[in-house]
Structure 1
Amino acid sequence: MEAIAFTLVAILLYLASDWLLNRIELSFGRRLEHRTLVFFAILLTLALASFALIRRLVM
């Protein structure tokens, strides 16, 4: 059950990170130079927070 929760959350986090990055780029009015690094930072932050929350709820 835990693996399913992690997988579903990972998919949602990927989509949310992409959406958030697009919003950031729209506010700047241009593509970011290091787009991949910004995407990774957003995804990593969201993943660490949500996976810690899942572990607390499941255990």
Structure 2
Amino acid sequence: MAHHRDESVMVIVAVPGERWEFEFLSDGSPEVEKFVSNGEIAGEQALSELFDRYWKTR
């Protein structure tokens, strides 16, 4: 379970090759987002790609 927005509660479900995020809003409606793996396993280079893309030095 997680909480990222004031008006919702999130339940995260991980199954092989997929991650599902269910957000239940205060009005009772759900939002669902699904992340599906392409089946490829990345190596050390993926860490460099992540840092190059999102790390901001100041």
Give the TM-score band, short-chain normalised: under 0.3
| TM-score under structure 1 length normalisation | 0.25
Task: Identify the structure with bigger relative contact order (alpha carbons < 8 Å, sequence gap 6+).
Answer: 1
Name the larger-Rg structure.
2
Structure with the largest fraction of strand: 2
| TM-score under structure 2 length normalisation | 0.25
